[in-house]
Structure 1
Amino acid sequence: MNAFAAYGAINTKIHARKKSLLSNKEWQKTVEFKSVVQVIDFLKKRPGYKRLLNDYKIEDVHRTELEVVLDRYIVSEIENMLHYFSGSYKVFFKTFLMEYEINDLQLLLRSISRNENMQGIEHFFVHSQKYGLTIYDKLITCKNVIQFIEALKGTIYYDTLKTMAEEDIAKREFHMEMKLYILFYKQLMEVAEQLAPKDKKIAKKIIGTKIDLINIQWIYRATKYYDISPEEILIYSLPFGDKVNYQRLKILSYTKNLDEYKKLVQRYISSSLFQEESDAFLEHTIDRQLYHYIMRMNTREENISLSLAYIYTLYIEVQDLVALTEGIRYTLPQDELKKYLVHTI
């Protein structure tokens, strides 16, 4: 029995929550919608989503606001899970909320760097009100990036950002965002080390698989589309991957051409991620790879696998709902729209 994780209670809770996830039949129904209003109306009738959407008039919810609501839903689900954990396990699952806090820090950084009006920006925040930073009122009043970074003194983010203030704005924004996400995954892996051996192995395998896929996409896009040196590509690749260790990351970062890169990726992860003709589908192909991996996991035992699988499955569902609304907005044909979804319909 794990003193820090009430597996029986949390697994029962998650099995109940999983019933609110969209079925394949329901996904087939959603791709037939002709307007975002229809999507909102559909979600307002579903457990979980309806609680957050009740304060909105259907016709007033735009794509950006919907994305905010959906991200807040993930945050609320993680917050609810924390009631069943204590000690190192609560610290571990609470760390997943960092990703949404980083989302809001990036939002503020971009607005400050571009001298945008900050009025009303808090309406787009998705971070946890219960477990997140308590200094957002102070951050909103910052007039420049240096003030912003100084306001973060005493938080986990300060040491990561404090050396960035002197670079030019365009580069600074990119570097800061990359450094924040490296910090997130580094922190996630560090707290995973404090779990019981079996749970630590499960956590590092799932998160490591996610990191592998993120790195593969990052290196591919950085090589093909951006003027980024191999040294910089390697610096901003995430550590702690499952199958793609530092040595393999270095080989991929310095690969001379994309054909060789694709062959190496297939060799390293035993799967081809570049079968689609268009790179527009790469992110969805990668998420589908993670989704299929999660669906193959044994989540019936009393360990953290079900909790982790639920977080990542919910994340993928939200990404698909965002892709769905975007496709409807641009009136994509159904067959084309389905290609942008992780769920295979």
Structure 2
Amino acid sequence: MANNLLSYSGITAKVKAMESNLLKNEDYVKISNFENIPEFINYLKANPSYESLFSGFDEGSLHRGQIEQLIINSLYDSYGRIYRFCNQEQRKALIFLSFRFETNIIKHCLQHVFNDEYEYKSTNFDAFFSKRLKVNIEQLTSAKTMDEFINLLKTTEYYPILNAVQNSHNPTVFDYEMQLDIYYFKKVWKLKDKYLKGDSNKAYTEILGKTVDLLNIMWIYRSKKYYDIDSSKIYSYIIPISYKLKKKEITTLIESGSVEDFITLLNTNYYVRVYGTTGITSFENLYRSLLTKIYNSNKQKYPNSMAPVQQFLYLKEIEIDNLTTVLECIRYKLQPNETLSYIQ
């Protein structure tokens, strides 16, 4: 225990210092009152997490896509700084996050094939992070068709996944993204016991297992609520991993007759019983609220592990989502109170 405490004291202190730069409620109140994008950018330039990313750019010349990408890149910048600080054992836990980021980057590049107005570039990526990518972003964003996009990935592990989707009936961008997500979770679930030991393994297993459960619940809900997808099709979107949510429960949720029946069944679920739903205004907020509680609980349960790092990077992702939301609200000149209602 003493060795474990000593081993993780340095990285815990490092992450705590980085966490102090995360935006607070009062920051969002200030940002929500901005009347234009240059004010928004100038505010971010004063934050250590974004200062280096936005330095050298004229706040009046950046368009929305560039701003969003710089904000997203702050996550990869944070990851790179943490990775460089970790020892070899701690870096093993970060390998799984790099897999996730790479999958997300491929999904961003994929958007460009379906919408040529969508722009995504590797410019200003953390150099350390960029070197560890197994895909060429510039090439992927130049692809005009799915044939070209998939062929550019022919030497990677992603080729069989995307090629199989392409050979299915009229695939959409949603189909490609879902199968990339499923592949990622299956991959790391299989590898985690090989790379991680002790509390780091327990902490990561708990986070990963509960995240998969909640994503499966979320995807079933969205399939029924927004897409009216047939139950037989929903099964193809399920990550084949069960943690606290057992296979029988997944089947029951998928086969529920309506969204109302789905919610009734969900109210008896482990996650609702343990973590509660007080003050939740939407299903999406329920998902985020439960996941936040799980990360907080995990950090307290396994303080001398990579759990604090995982929680910080999770909070960083929420911040990025919030900033891109506020950016959009300022663009459409929403009132401050309306903007704040969208903050997670």
Q: TM-score band, normalised by the shorter chain?
A: 0.7 to 0.9
Give the direction of change, closer, same or farther, for the CA distance of 1:108–1:27 in structure 2 (3 Å limit). closer
Counterpart of 2:239? Answer: 238
Counterpart of 1:73? Answer: 74
- The 8 Å contact of residues 82 and 90 in structure 1, kept in 2 or not, is answered as yes
Counterpart of 1:183? Answer: 183
5+ long unaligned stretches in structure 2: none
5+ long unaligned stretches in structure 1: none
3-state SS, counterpart of residue 34 of structure 1: coil
Distance in 1 (alpha carbons) for counterparts of 2:64 and 2:324? 8
Counterpart of 2:312? Answer: 310
C-alpha deviation, 1:17, in angstroms: 0.7
Distance in 1 (alpha carbons) for counterparts of 2:327 and 2:141? 30
Give the direction of change, closer, same or farther, for the CA distance of 1:183–1:125 in structure 2 (3 Å limit). farther
Aligned-residue identity in percent: 23
TM-score by length of 2: 0.85
Counterpart of 1:337? Answer: 339
- The letter of the residue matching 1:244 is L
Distance in 2 (alpha carbons) for counterparts of 1:109 and 1:33? 33
Distance in 1 (alpha carbons) for counterparts of 2:235 and 2:178? 12
- The letter of the residue matching 1:331 is K
C-alpha deviation, 1:166, in angstroms: 3.1
Counterpart of 1:57? Answer: 58
Give the direction of change, closer, same or farther, for the CA distance of 1:138–1:257 in structure 2 (3 Å limit). closer
Counterpart of 2:121? Answer: 122
- The letter of the residue matching 2:42 is D
C-alpha deviation, 1:204, in angstroms: 1.8
Residues 25-104 of structure 1 correspond to what in structure 2 (within 5 A)?
25-85=26-86, 89-104=90-105
Give the direction of change, closer, same or farther, for the CA distance of 1:138–1:86 in structure 2 (3 Å limit). same
- The 8 Å contact of residues 100 and 126 in structure 1, kept in 2 or not, is answered as no
Q: Is the counterpart of residue 155 in structure 1 residue 159 in structure 2?
A: no
Counterpart of 1:202? Answer: 203
Give the direction of change, closer, same or farther, for the CA distance of 1:339–1:241 in structure 2 (3 Å limit). farther
- The 8 Å contact of residues 10 and 84 in structure 1, kept in 2 or not, is answered as yes
Distance in 2 (alpha carbons) for counterparts of 1:161 and 1:129? 22
| 1:91-138 per-position Cα deviation (integer Å, ceiling 9, x unaligned) | 431332333333332344343456x489x7536796941210254455
Distance in 2 (alpha carbons) for counterparts of 1:273 and 1:238? 28
| 1:51-93 per-position Cα deviation (integer Å, ceiling 9, x unaligned) | 1011321122333222211211101111222224455642431
Q: CA RMSD in A?
A: 3.0
Counterpart of 2:173? Answer: 173
C-alpha deviation, 1:341, in angstroms: 0.9
3-state SS, counterpart of residue 267 of structure 1: coil
- The 8 Å contact of residues 31 and 338 in structure 1, kept in 2 or not, is answered as yes
Q: Is the counterpart of residue 256 in structure 1 residue 257 in structure 2?
A: yes
- The letter of the residue matching 1:177 is E
Q: Is the counterpart of residue 325 in structure 1 residue 327 in structure 2?
A: yes
Distance in 2 (alpha carbons) for counterparts of 1:113 and 1:67? 19
C-alpha deviation, 1:245, in angstroms: 2.9
3-state SS, counterpart of residue 59 of structure 1: coil
Between stretches 253-262 and 333-342, larger displacement belongs to 333-342
3-state SS, counterpart of residue 235 of structure 1: helix
- The 8 Å contact of residues 92 and 188 in structure 1, kept in 2 or not, is answered as no
Give the direction of change, closer, same or farther, for the CA distance of 1:80–1:245 in structure 2 (3 Å limit). farther
Counterpart of 2:266? Answer: 265
Distance in 2 (alpha carbons) for counterparts of 1:113 and 1:337? 29
Give the direction of change, closer, same or farther, for the CA distance of 1:250–1:273 in structure 2 (3 Å limit). farther
| 1:304-330 per-position Cα deviation (integer Å, ceiling 9, x unaligned) | 111111110111111111111222222
Give the direction of change, closer, same or farther, for the CA distance of 1:6–1:36 in structure 2 (3 Å limit). farther
C-alpha deviation, 1:29, in angstroms: 2.3
Distance in 2 (alpha carbons) for counterparts of 1:130 and 1:41? 30
- The letter of the residue matching 1:131 is R
Aligned length: 334
